[in-house]
Structure 1
Amino acid sequence: MFDVSFTELMLIGVIALIVIGPERLPKVARTIGHLLGRAQRYVNEVKTDIQKEIDIKEIGDIKHQMEDAARSVQSSMSSSVDDLKAAVTQPTQALKDSLAEARQALDISAVAPGSDSTAPAADSHTAEKPAANPIPGTPATPDSAATAAPAVTIPDVTQPARQPTPTESSH
């Protein structure tokens, strides 16, 4: 703190001995020692408080940086999740739409033109046979040909095909 050499300290001690006197010099030295100790403690406390404030400010800055980084990671993760959901949802919806169209097409094709849509469709293995001509040797009329059109049923493709069991395939 101060650049004081040993000779300067000796000079100050001799002057203090002459001015203060030998009886009061130990008391004054003790008091000066206590005051210097208090001053050093006060300076150290101020330094410590300033260092704590600097550390708190640095920690606060680091905290804000970490919060910003966490927010950016969270936003990038949520955007990635949204992108993944969109990537999965779009093909799934397209597949559902095409399945719905296929079902609708199957429902329309299963119903014969001119027939009641509430009537059950014929089995895929059996087809309606044309009505026999009431008079043999005469050509069929257009009305009888329209009623004799076979109804074709397409099997449901959404259900898996039945695999033959080992005992059925050996026969």
Structure 2
Amino acid sequence: MIDLGLTKLALIGVVALVVIGPEKLPRVARMAGSLFGRAQRYINEVKSEVSREIELEELRKMQKEVQDTAQEVGQSISQGMSEVENDIHSAWNDERGAGGLTEPPTAEDLALKAKNFRRKKLARTSAVPGWYKNQTGRRAHVMSGAARMARHRAKRATPTSFF
């Protein structure tokens, strides 16, 4: 930038006063100040625009890097999954060939296993042991109060006809 000291500004002012004259000098000074302000604003806008473009370019580079790494991670995960899937299929085929399972379990088999598991778990975790229930002959399930009342309620006699 131009290095303007106090002495240089004073010299420029004296020359302008002599050349322009004292009556036009304030108007010329205002116009020069407004032009100088516009130039400063324009330079600041250009600087901010350039900095925004640089930041935008950096963000684009970062976005591209992130997308590339995400694609690499996705490819490695899919490759690992395919390897595991191939291992499972080969193990399944080896088991079938060795006289093991002939077909995968059906939904009914799985439901039966789940039901048996729940029943066994209930038998293990209930407060009254199974041998005591079998010895006393008591029922293993609990009835609600409403069901017990309905069971022991006196039955209504069916109305007999007069004819």
3-state SS, counterpart of residue 99 of structure 1: coil
What RMSD in Å do the two structures reach over aligned CA positions? Answer: 2.0
Match of 2:37 in 1: 37
Give 1:6's aligned amino acid. Answer: L
TM-score by length of 1: 0.56
1 CA distance for matches of 2:88 and 2:37? Answer: 74
Does residue 1:47 correspond to 2:47, yes or no?
yes
Give 2:75's aligned amino acid. Answer: S
TM-score by length of 2: 0.58
Does residue 1:95 correspond to 2:95, yes or no?
yes
Deviation, structure 1 residue 98: 2.2
Greater relative contact order (CA < 8 Å, ≥ 6 in sequence): 1
Match of 1:86 in 2: 86
2 CA distance for matches of 1:64 and 1:18? Answer: 63
Q: Percent identity?
A: 38
Does residue 1:24 correspond to 2:35, yes or no?
no
Cα deviation digits, residues 92-112 of structure 1 (max 9, x gap): 121122236x98xxxxxxxxx
Match of 1:11 in 2: 11
3-state SS, counterpart of residue 42 of structure 2: helix
Cα deviation digits, residues 85-141 of structure 1 (max 9, x gap): 1122211121122236x98xxxxxxxxxxxxxxxxxxxxxxxxxxxxxxxxxxxxxx
Cα deviation digits, residues 55-102 of structure 1 (max 9, x gap): 2221111111111111100000000111111122211121122236x9
Give 2:91's aligned amino acid. Answer: P
Which blocks of at least 5 consecutive residues in structure 1 are unaligned? 104-165
Deviation, structure 1 residue 33: 0.6
For the pair shown, the structure with the greater C-alpha radius of gyration is 1
1 CA distance for matches of 2:99 and 2:28? Answer: 104
2 CA distance for matches of 1:92 and 1:71? Answer: 31
Cα deviation digits, residues 30-75 of structure 1 (max 9, x gap): 1101101111111111111222222222111111111111110000
Q: Give runs of aligned pairs for residues 53-72 of structure 1, distance below 5 A.
A: 53-72=53-72
Which blocks of at least 5 consecutive residues in structure 2 are unaligned? 103-129, 132-163
Give 1:66's aligned amino acid. Answer: V
